[in-house]
Chains A and B, each alone.
Chain A
């Protein structure tokens, strides 16, 4: 399936993956600290393992504790 991750088109081998699996397969840095938006809506942390992503979804991984707008 094809999904957009942080604005970039990605092709994944499987057709159904949970957010947790995508965090792993995409080597998202420091997954414990990331907040996830799926199609513009925030996802509760306890739903990462059960929320299935499908073809055409847009996923954003955002960091609020480190990084962010800077100098």
Chain B
């Protein structure tokens, strides 16, 4: 198996399922029994591939994890209850009180709230840098820095950073780069090819197959020497490149209990099988719609990395494969116009999710950034901006519905 689509459909086929089932069954059980005490001991020591308790591992969840591992060509994968759980668990495994992380101000609102609010209260310092500028990153990294965090395509600014430059800078300081690949997934961006140590993502979005379930993933690409992280040095001596996965599986992930349910894993494994088809369609639709919007007299500005006019187009074309993502933004004259536009739509749904099968629209300034001060908000998003998450419908129908919005202005 070489192709992404083939791997997505068949997975690694690690074992024959009971009754020859072609789809891994949903193992809803909580605990698993052992034939004897010795086998139980070996399982606890990690020397026998057996499941003991579903908060830690489960056969259906493991099947999903192994499918992702195959697609990402990664060393290890852990599936969690949400994308936010994936980020929180990763940060708590790598950093802690008295250390700092370096990140962009362009972050998903809840990620920023986690970093600058929740984790700050636990003694983690968050330092902000311009991910487009290696010098900006160098200027804030020091001996207490534990990771650099960024999103592959920021939301809703749609900024694309040069990952190779960024990982080179971080590498000079012995710091791993953690990338949120929610809007790209391994189908659009193979993060290990750019030196990214860990990819986290919300599998709720593209992977779930149509907003069927909430889930998250931690993907360790196996590139980082975890002995360079003081918290992981002891585990690195014992477990080598698997130190972070072991730290998570045997401590952080286990203790926080944000596990993925077997039912969710089954649905998301099914979603994974059609991921390439859906992403290609959504990306093609997004490119077509961005061109329609770019030539529309009532649109002041369109932002989409697939447009050659985008300042990040060349970089996105170099880093991404198979498409430029399915998120775009466009500016009208004012917030009031944005609201009128949204309210006139009949097909496109007014909702906060993204990378659904359905096309969704939202006014970011008054929703995603509602908790921010006006000054903070102004630095992140315009009051006249609408975000469109383009789905897999017939593109003519999406364009026709957008015209209903324009007709209301």
Contacts and interface: CB of A to CB of B under 8 A. Distances in A.
A63 B45 CA distance: 9
A66 B59 CA distance: 8
Contacts of B15: 30
Interface string A51-67: 00000000011111111
B228 interface: no
Nearest to A44: B241
A66 to B, nearest CB: 5
A29 B48 contact: yes
B405 interface: no
A70 B239 CA distance: 18
A33 B43 contact: no
Contacts of A30: 14-15, 49
A46 to B, nearest CB: 12
A29 B43 CA distance: 12
Given A42-B239, A42-B240, A67 B65 contact: no
Given A6-B42, A42-B240, A67 B31 contact: no
Nearest to B237: A40
Given A33-B66, A64-B46, A70 B14 contact: no
B221 to A, nearest CB: 14
A27 B44 CA distance: 20
A58 to B, nearest CB: 13
A11 B146 CA distance: 46
A61 B242 CA distance: 13
A66 B51 contact: yes
Given A60-B47, A63-B46, A68 B57 contact: yes
A29 B254 CA distance: 24
A62 B55 CA distance: 20
Given A33-B66, A35-B242, A62-B239, A67 B50 contact: yes
A41 B240 CA distance: 8
Nearest to A29: B49
B14 A68 contact: no
Interface residues on A, range: 20 to 34
Contacts of A61: 47
B43 A70 contact: yes
B164 interface: no
A66 B57 contact: yes
Contacts of B12: 32
B77 interface: yes
A70 B62 CA distance: 15
Nearest to A60: B47
B55 A71 contact: yes
Nearest to B249: A68
A60 B77 CA distance: 21
Nearest to B78: A65
A69 interface: yes
Interface in B202-246: 239-242, 245-246
B46 A67 contact: yes
Contact of A68 (B31, B56, B59): B56
Interface in A19-45: 29-30, 32-35, 37, 41-42
B52 interface: yes
A70 B48 contact: no
B250 interface: yes
B62 A66 contact: yes
Contacts of B62: 65-66
7 closest Cβ contacts across the A-B interface? A70-B52, A42-B240, A71-B53, A69-B250, A63-B49, A66-B49, A6-B47
Given A66-B62, A71-B53, 16 more contacts: A6-B47, A29-B48, A30-B14, A35-B240, A62-B239, A63-B47, A64-B46, A65-B49, A65-B57, A65-B69, A66-B51, A67-B57, A68-B46, A68-B246, A69-B46, A70-B56
